[in-house]
Amino acid sequence: MSGRLEGIARHDRPRGPIETLDHVAVTRELGVRGDLRGAIRPGKSGRRQISLIETESWQAALAELGTAVERTLPWHIRRANLLVQGIRLPREPGKIVAIGQSLRIEVTCECDPCSRMDEIHPGLKLALMPDWRGGVLGRVLTDGEIAIGDEVRIEE
């Protein structure tokens, strides 16, 4: 089974503006190039280096909030780095998500929605909580250049 990369986003500082991209380099050293959370700091594991969310999970959360919200909240407001469509992300640590020719990301944990989500829209945090709707976090295992439209696969 495979899906497709639908979106790429980054932000360079806490609460900073989100920039969406068509393509980007992702490395073990920096994560998504230019993203605040990508660089692994000394003494840290990098388990929160990169974040991914499913289009289907984002849409399900917004559907709970009502029709008007579905049309007004773009996926990147979640502050995730990558949006994937047509594939279910692993719900357990240790699984590998492959994107494009060479990028490999190890899933490390669930990306629990924080109170910031309710600042964006009341009820968004709760809508993102069931079944890992808030996405997954991971660490980059192998570098890769990725672009919107790239194939996304789960490797065992």
Domain 2-155 has CATH 3.40.50.300: no
Q: What is the pLDDT of residue 70?
A: 61
pTM of the model: 0.93
The reported pLDDT for the residue numbered 71 is 67
The answer on pLDDT for 67 being more than 80 is: no
- Rounded to whole angstroms, the Cα distance separating 50 from 84 reads 13
Q: Which two tokens stand for residue 25?
A: 């380099």
- For residue 116, what are the CA distances in angstroms to 59, 76, 94, 148? 18, 13, 27, 27
**pLDDT tens-digit map of 72-90:** 789 999 999 999 999 999 9
Average pLDDT over residues 36-62: 89
Residue 43's pLDDT band, with cuts at 50, 70 and 90, is: confident
Looking at the chain, how many residues does it have?
Answer: 156
Mean pLDDT (the chain, rounded): 92
Residue with tokens 């996405």: 135
Q: How far apart are CA 13 and CA 51, in angstroms?
A: 16
- pLDDT for 69 equals 64
- What pLDDT is attached to residue 57? 96
Q: Which residue from 154, 147, 121, 104 is spatially nearest to 7, judged by alpha carbons? A: 147
Span 90-109, pLDDT tens digits: 999 999 999 999 999 999 99
